[in-house]
């Protein structure tokens, strides 16, 4: 971002651009989609059972929740614990690695709040 050059040095810019994008693609591969970040946020507030989570993450279907939780578990962001009660209860919680996303989520929430204010108070500009 700091490399503002008067004459466009296309090839240098392109390499800079690609190296800037790569780690973001790595992050997005894991986080992108409609539901993963909302699920992580819900679990940051409190560990949850499947049906509780289903109610917290409004609008998601059981099928999608199940699928997204599997992917998050595979990437070690979420932990699945089965309790030998009857009927069986399954508890999902955020891992330490999952907590490392806190700064990303906080920035996203800050921006989302500012954006919502902008839409509400200056809709003509957006």
Q: Which stretch binds DNA (CB under 7 A): 13-21, 63-71, 93-101, 116-124?
A: 63-71
Encoded tokens for 117 = 């204010």
Binding partner selected for residue 51 from a second copy, DNA, none, CB under the kind-specific 5 to 8 Å limit: DNA
Rounded to whole angstroms, the Cα distance separating 32 from 19 reads: 19
CB of 27 or CB of 62, closer to a second copy: 27
Instruction: Give the list of residues 6+ apart from residue 89 with CB closer than 8 angstroms, or none.
Output: 49, 82, 83
Binding partner selected for residue 81 from DNA, a second copy, none, CB under the kind-specific 5 to 8 Å limit: none
Burial of 42 (0-12, 13-18, 19+ CB in 10 A): buried
Rounded to whole angstroms, the Cα distance separating 102 from 44 reads: 9
Supply the minimum distance, in Å, between the C-beta of residue 63 and a second copy.
19
* Positions that interact with a second copy (CB under 8 A): 1, 3, 5, 8, 10, 13-14, 16-18, 20-28, 30, 32-34, 37-38, 41-42, 44-46, 52, 55-58, 75-76, 100-116, 119, 125-126
């Amino acid at each position: 971002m700091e490399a503002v050059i008067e004459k466009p040095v296309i090839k240098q810019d392109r390499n800079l651009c690609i190296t800037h994008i790569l780690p973001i693609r790595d992050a997005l591969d894991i986080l992108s989609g409609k539901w993963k970040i909302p699920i992580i946020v819900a679990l940051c507030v409190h560990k949850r059972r499947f049906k509780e989570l289903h109610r917290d993450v409004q609008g998601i279907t059981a099928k999608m929740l199940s699928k997204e939780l599997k992917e998050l578990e595979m990437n070690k962001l979420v932990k699945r614990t089965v309790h030998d009660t009857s009927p069986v209860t399954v508890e999902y919680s955020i891992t330490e690695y999952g907590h490392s996303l806190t700064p990303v989520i906080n920035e996203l929430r800050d921006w989302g709040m500012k954006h919502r204010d902008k839409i509400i108070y200056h809709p003509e500009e957006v």
